[in-house]
Structure 1
Amino acid sequence: MLTFLLLFSYVRTETYDIRLFSVAEQTIRSPKTIVDEHRTDLERERVAAEVAEVSQAFAFRPEIVDNRTSLVGSIFDFAKEYNYTEEQAEDPETDEEVSVPEENLSELKKALTADVSEDVTTSIDDDVFEQLLSSSDAELERARNITITQIESVMADPIKEEEVTINKDLIEEQLQVSSIQQDLKDAVIALGRFAIIETNIFDKEQTQASIKQARESVEPVHILEGQVIVQEGYLIDREIFRQLEALGLTTNDQTMAPYVGLVLFSLIVLFVLYFQFSSWKIKEEKKQNYLTLVSMIFLLSLGLMKVTELVRGLDISQIGYLFPAAMAPMLIRSMINTKLALVVTILLAACGSIVFNDSITGSVNVEIAIYFLFSGLAGILFLSHSKRRTYLLRAGLFVAVANVLVLLSITLMESGQYSAMDYMFYLIFASVSGVLASILTIGLLPLFEAGFGILSTIKLVELSNPNHPLLKRILTEAPGTYHHSVMVANLAEAACEEIGANGLLARVGCYYHDIGKTKRPHFFIENQLSDQNPHDRLSPEASRDIIISHALDGAEMLRKYKLPKEFVDIAEQHHGTTLLKFFYYKAKENGIEAHEEDYRYPGPKPQTKETAVISIADSVEAAVRSMKDPTSDKIKGLVQSIVQDRLQDGHFNECDLTLKELETIKRVFCETLNGIFHSRIEYPEFTKERERKKQA
């Protein structure tokens, strides 16, 4: 139901069998509101062209007028400051005017250069400055006011570059007829011509900004829901046909067909998962747990698809390639198995082809389905041999590379017209998809493992670390038991791998299966460093209780440290309900009334193949290690005897271990034990030394 609802909006509601230049058999209305991209682009281009035609390229800059008048006024002010007095201007003996002192002219030019924003000394002749310096303050003030007034008058209207000369001549004419003193008029005219410059400036940035603003101000043209696209009996021209294509109405179909198709598709997804789980021979409780987990991951991926597809509203091309398609396969591969991850990869690729359908409801996107399929396969393949959580990020990088290659191959095969920007977006989307898949997997994996009690390969590898508190404890407090556990782990893993069981679970489970012996390590023979056995001083009943308690104590310790339930089961079940024969017969010999049920482990019997294999490996390893001069025949006979004894005792009645698998287990045990306890060649010098000692 959730799959149907999530995909509901991506199937079409109504389509029509129409062709270009045909006559509409009925009035067609828009079933939804969409943006008409083509008409919107045309409208934006039209508005931009109109803005460009209007004289927006030139703009009158009134601040230029203020700056020029201020500059001319400053020249007059400085001239008043550095001019010389009338007494200095005439020779007392001849009453003739003398030239302007050189120092006054230099000080004026220096002041103008230092204090004025524009270096006017290079544009104005010294004769002008000398005339200004030789004039009185009153004359300068009067000339200043007239000049500035005329400049403002001439520059009141915009002046283009080609109009500058005309306006310079204009201000010269106006100043020529002004009431300024004649000996100062030439200087004033020079300043007036200097002040006139272009004020109507071409502003490219402003023009571009205006065009951009005009484009952005255009509201998107919509095809509204209910709007008539074509009336009955009218010709379907190119524009009408384009609108119908944009709405996805150009293919004839039954109204309910898309929904029926979506229902069938959802049922296919359901039945694929159902048949996958129905043929899986595991406990119903575990099967239900896995089914719930896979369903949650599948629906989470569909939800992420929908969120990613919604970003398409930002007009980002092919946003679907950003979706982390490898996330779900990597999660399922890490927590369950490869086969189920492959199934989910195929289902998600099919769903992705519907979700990312290029906005044409009811269609499928084959390209993105191929992309999702290969992305998921890459995640599974690159993660298949990874047994550490840090390898997930490395797998994500490999997935990113695979995504780029697949996407590049698709775009090249399409021979489409892609720009450099399109390829850049594709590269970024494909890379981010792979890395994002690994990051989400790393983040979600602990949550799913804790929430569903999943014991993944990565979790098993982490628990096999010798720095775990329980493993450090057994190594320091019961080193003999630790060595025994490692040997049992080697046997169990090899046998489980051979029969198709979880070898890594068997190995790591063996490390913890005898953790209960750490409570009383010296009561177990592998930890006894001397020939004295504490059981020699105990009654058979006391010894029985100590030996049996190690299974219960181990399970309790594992629960205390919150280790996975599989480990607790191995600790409780690896002895099943077997009989402690040594102490049972010892009690008989001592004349004690003993019952078999009192000397049996409380069980339960092994419930899984892994636990059954561990139980055999535990007994076989201890028995072979106690043998003197073990040979291949002796080992084979011992293994056969132990397995036969367990079989007759009903030890395997509650697990799905077959007789054929038992034969395989025995063969693997014999091969492994022969490799461990093989005969060793003595070196000649050691042999001679031993013979010499015997003779002595």
Structure 2
Amino acid sequence: MQQYLIKIRSLLNIKFFRILLFVLLGVVLYISMYSNVKPEKLDIRLFSIANQTIRSPITVEDKKSTAAKKKEAEEQVQDVYVLNKSISENRIDLITSIFDSAVEVNKEIKNEQKEGLMDEGNSPSKEVKLKRLKEKLTVDVTKDIPDSVLTSLVASANDELIIARDLSITAINMIMNNRIPTHEVENAKKKLEEELKYTDLNLDLKNAAIQLGRYAIIPNEFYDPDATEEMRQQAVENVEPVKILEGQIIVEENQLINRDVYRQLDLAGLLDNDRSNAPFIGLTLLIMVFLTALYFYFYHLEENKEQKQTYLLLFSLIFILSIFLMKMVSLLHVLEFADIAFIFPAAMSALLIKILIDEKLAIVVTIIMAICGCVMFNEGVTGSLNTSTGIYILCSGLAGIMFLSNQRRSNIFKAGLFVAAANVVVILSLVFLRNGQYDIQDYIITVVIGFMSGILSAVLTIGLLPFLEAGFGILSTMRLIELSNPNHPLLKKILTETPGTYHHSVMVANLAESACETIGANGLLARVGAYYHDIGKTKRPQFFIENQLNIENPHDRIPPNMSKNIIIAHATDGAEMLKAHHMPKEIVDIAEQHHGTTLLKYFYHKVKQSGVEVDEEEYRYPGPKAQTKESAIVGIADSVEAAVRSMSQPTPEQIEELVRKIISDRLQDNQFNECDLTLKELDKVANALCETLNGIFHSRIEYPEMTKQKVRHA
């Protein structure tokens, strides 16, 4: 598996093959969702009988029905007629002027008689008075009003004319204050006639007043084309567009498909589905959005090329597996259970990707899976998307990411229980939002399915993790935590066979972890690597000083050259032992690289003092030098712990001087050339090591009894 992985990774270094992998993911997505967006083929003919109930897949406006509805609304608007109040005023003024003119004629004649211009004994004839009155009136008035009416006016006394005028004006004003359309003019005149009929005027004057009143009454309500058009336009604008709503039943089963129904089916796009490519274009664009987001994520991923390609392959496998599983669950719709989608283990991919790769990518994948779920589980729902399932998958995946904190296997199952509880809450909320009619049995089944989904997500995650970790050489947090278990066979071997080395390794682990966390490196990896870094000492434990308890130092009986070989071998022996136990590469590298190519100074100077000329390279570790920050820091912590342990009651100043000297020596020896540790980070590492060592080797309070014992021994 590892060999194939290496070959594939080498191919992915080429941009063409990386793009090809994303194209493969796109093809998988397209194939999995193709059947869900493919328009249904319907055998529909005009005036045939529908063999099934057909609903509209989209919301579309029925423009023809909207136009008909607008026309109907326009026709229902009545013509607008307005009351012209100025007509009433004009007619009243006209009648008033006629009466006033008659009064003036009488006054003029009386004045002429007083002035002697006319014989008082001989009153002017009616014809003379009529002539004078007509001279004061307009031609139209004299033409429309009979002479008999005018004669009755000039024949009456002024007091009677004034009374007749007031009565006539009052009646005219009362009648014309109301709307008088053309067809109601005669009725209005009759009303006025009734008003004046019972007055105390003499008969001739009363008849004249009635005639003038009838003459005054004319239509005062007229058609307003502008107002009518405005009302009709407003009525048209108030008409809501007629729409065929998504999910609306267009034709029931066994119903005749008439022309109107056929037209609605055409509007909904159900007649030309063989030529409609819109759903496929939409699916392609959606997949392109997914792939672009994923490509940019991996493009900006801050990892080395090898690790980046491993993550890309691992993600692709998990993603394809999840899509395949989702598709299999979607095919279970044949069971005719509406909420079968809730059985899908939606949190599985999120849990796996968070554990093996990154939490940010897990969130991105959860969103993509939710959208894919909307499409894949659209069977039996209106439209192309099942939003309820999408919300469920999104909430379930995010719950898995949120609840999985400490990545132990036991915590995965706990996270699965939390996800199951979240699933139940989300499902119940969706069911209640639908406001449908559910039996208690339906509620129970739905809740059980959601709970099973959470448990299934955890079980699949736990089951797949070992295969993915082993197959891709992934050293996850969970795997590191498992390797740090004291019951691990190799750690038990160190403890039982080299207890001094075990204690030394634990101390180095504490130092390395705190230093790594200070600069943002993987503290847990450094801790676990430190546990195993000296596993090679178990081959010859008595040759290492921390294990020489109450025994003679065997190096005193052998030449320095042999001692050198034994000491140097522990790094390569440890790497071989770890490889034999299939330990992760990162742990093997720490064991192999923690000494780098440093010089074994003690035995080198010992052989030099004996007068033998030797090459310094023979007394150096074979390396390689530290390739990662974690390997370099474990090496520093290893040397620092051993050096400080050899000091008697070290002070903080002595500890800091020693730590910085060891780091400086390694820096000058070019031991950090192949890892990316900076001088600023080395300074932070030194401070962290000093802080931890001061906590370990702090001064202890001397109790009185201890002081007395020292005095006795002295």
Q: Is the 8 A contact 1:13 1:256 kept in 2?
A: no
1:414-436 per-residue CA deviation (whole Å, 9 max, x = no partner) reads: 43444433322321221111011
Counterpart position of 1:255:
276
Counterpart position of 1:637:
657
590-599 vs 616-625, greater mean Cα deviation:
590-599
Query: Once the 2 structures are TM-superposed, how far is the Cα of residue 563 of structure 1 from its aligned partner?
Result: 1.5
Counterpart position of 1:673:
693
Counterpart position of 1:304:
325
Query: Once the 2 structures are TM-superposed, how far is the Cα of residue 552 of structure 1 from its aligned partner?
Result: 0.5
1:142-169 per-residue CA deviation (whole Å, 9 max, x = no partner) reads: xxxxxxxxxxxxxxxxxxxxxxxxxxxx
Larger of the two Rg values belongs to structure = 2
Match of 1:374 among 375, 395, 400: 395
Q: Does 1:3 find its partner at 2:29?
A: yes
Match of 1:276 among 286, 290, 297: 297
Q: Per the alignment, do residues 330 and 649 of structure 1 end up closer, same or farther by CA in structure 2, a change over 3 Å counting?
A: same
Q: Does 1:664 find its partner at 2:684?
A: yes
Q: Per the alignment, do residues 264 and 469 of structure 1 end up closer, same or farther by CA in structure 2, a change over 3 Å counting?
A: same
Give 1:102-501 correspondences, 5 Å limit.
Answer: 234-236=259-261, 249=270, 255-359=276-380, 363-387=384-408, 389-501=409-521
Q: Per the alignment, do residues 634 and 358 of structure 1 end up closer, same or farther by CA in structure 2, a change over 3 Å counting?
A: same
Q: Per the alignment, do residues 409 and 250 of structure 1 end up closer, same or farther by CA in structure 2, a change over 3 Å counting?
A: farther
Counterpart position of 1:599:
619
- State the distance in 2 between where 1:258 and 1:29 align: 24
- State the distance in 2 between where 1:256 and 1:660 align: 59
Q: Is the 8 A contact 1:258 1:362 kept in 2?
A: no
Q: Is the 8 A contact 1:12 1:362 kept in 2?
A: no
Q: Per the alignment, do residues 248 and 640 of structure 1 end up closer, same or farther by CA in structure 2, a change over 3 Å counting?
A: farther
Q: Is the 8 A contact 1:505 1:610 kept in 2?
A: yes
Q: Per the alignment, do residues 544 and 228 of structure 1 end up closer, same or farther by CA in structure 2, a change over 3 Å counting?
A: farther
Q: Per the alignment, do residues 592 and 270 of structure 1 end up closer, same or farther by CA in structure 2, a change over 3 Å counting?
A: farther
Give 1:644-663 correspondences, 5 Å limit.
Answer: 644-663=664-683
1:614-670 per-residue CA deviation (whole Å, 9 max, x = no partner) reads: 111111111111112211111111111111222222212222223332222222111
- State the distance in 1 between where 2:300 and 2:255 align: 53
Query: Once the 2 structures are TM-superposed, how far is the Cα of residue 28 of structure 1 from its aligned partner?
Result: 5.7
Q: Per the alignment, do residues 599 and 415 of structure 1 end up closer, same or farther by CA in structure 2, a change over 3 Å counting?
A: same
Query: Once the 2 structures are TM-superposed, how far is the Cα of residue 385 of structure 1 from its aligned partner?
Result: 1.6
Match of 1:570 among 590, 597, 601: 590
454-463 vs 510-519, greater mean Cα deviation:
454-463
- State the distance in 2 between where 1:638 and 1:351 align: 59
Counterpart position of 2:634:
614
Report the AA paired with residue 497 of structure 2: E
SS in 1 for 2:493: helix
1:217-248 per-residue CA deviation (whole Å, 9 max, x = no partner) reads: xxxxxxxxxx99998x81117xx96x889x98
Q: Is the 8 A contact 1:488 1:617 kept in 2?
A: yes
Counterpart position of 1:78:
none
Query: Once the 2 structures are TM-superposed, how far is the Cα of residue 530 of structure 1 from its aligned partner?
Result: 3.7
Report the AA paired with residue 278 of structure 1: Y
Identity %: 58
Q: Is the 8 A contact 2:597 2:622 kept in 1?
A: yes
SS in 2 for 1:390: helix
1:39-64 per-residue CA deviation (whole Å, 9 max, x = no partner) reads: 9xxxxxxxxxxxxxxxxxxxxxxxxx
- State the distance in 1 between where 2:681 and 2:585 align: 25
Query: Once the 2 structures are TM-superposed, how far is the Cα of residue 692 of structure 1 from its aligned partner?
Result: 4.3
Query: Once the 2 structures are TM-superposed, how far is the Cα of residue 326 of structure 1 from its aligned partner?
Result: 0.5
- State the distance in 2 between where 1:427 and 1:305 align: 19
Query: Once the 2 structures are TM-superposed, how far is the Cα of residue 330 of structure 1 from its aligned partner?
Result: 1.2
SS in 1 for 2:398: helix
Q: Per the alignment, do residues 407 and 35 of structure 1 end up closer, same or farther by CA in structure 2, a change over 3 Å counting?
A: farther
- State the distance in 2 between where 1:368 and 1:396 align: 19
Q: Does 1:542 find its partner at 2:562?
A: yes
Query: Once the 2 structures are TM-superposed, how far is the Cα of residue 481 of structure 1 from its aligned partner?
Result: 0.5
Counterpart position of 1:557:
577
Q: Is the 8 A contact 1:392 1:438 kept in 2?
A: yes
1:447-467 per-residue CA deviation (whole Å, 9 max, x = no partner) reads: 212211222222222222222
Q: Is the 8 A contact 2:506 2:530 kept in 1?
A: yes
Q: Per the alignment, do residues 603 and 276 of structure 1 end up closer, same or farther by CA in structure 2, a change over 3 Å counting?
A: same
Q: Per the alignment, do residues 251 and 580 of structure 1 end up closer, same or farther by CA in structure 2, a change over 3 Å counting?
A: farther
Q: Is the 8 A contact 1:407 1:426 kept in 2?
A: yes
Q: Is the 8 A contact 1:400 1:435 kept in 2?
A: yes
Query: Once the 2 structures are TM-superposed, how far is the Cα of residue 409 of structure 1 from its aligned partner?
Result: 2.3
Q: Per the alignment, do residues 625 and 254 of structure 1 end up closer, same or farther by CA in structure 2, a change over 3 Å counting?
A: farther
How much is the aligned-residue C-alpha RMSD, in angstroms? 3.1
Counterpart position of 2:224:
none
Q: Is the 8 A contact 2:399 2:418 kept in 1?
A: yes
Counterpart position of 1:585:
605
Counterpart position of 2:103:
none
Query: Once the 2 structures are TM-superposed, how far is the Cα of residue 262 of structure 1 from its aligned partner?
Result: 1.8
Q: Is the 8 A contact 2:627 2:675 kept in 1?
A: yes
Query: Once the 2 structures are TM-superposed, how far is the Cα of residue 362 of structure 1 from its aligned partner?
Result: 6.8
- State the distance in 1 between where 2:709 and 2:397 align: 66
SS in 2 for 1:607: coil
- State the distance in 1 between where 2:374 and 2:517 align: 39
1:103-156 per-residue CA deviation (whole Å, 9 max, x = no partner) reads: xxxxxxxxxxxxxxxxxxxxxxxxxxxxxxxxxxxxxxxxxxxxxxxxxxxxxx
- State the distance in 2 between where 1:35 and 1:487 align: 80
- The runs of 4+ residues in structure 1 deviating greater than 3 Å are 12-16, 27-30, 34-39, 227-231, 247-254, 358-362, 413-419
- State the distance in 2 between where 1:555 and 1:520 align: 15
- State the distance in 2 between where 1:499 and 1:568 align: 22
Q: Per the alignment, do residues 326 and 35 of structure 1 end up closer, same or farther by CA in structure 2, a change over 3 Å counting?
A: farther
Query: Once the 2 structures are TM-superposed, how far is the Cα of residue 359 of structure 1 from its aligned partner?
Result: 4.1
Give 1:512-551 correspondences, 5 Å limit.
Answer: 512-530=532-550, 532-551=552-571
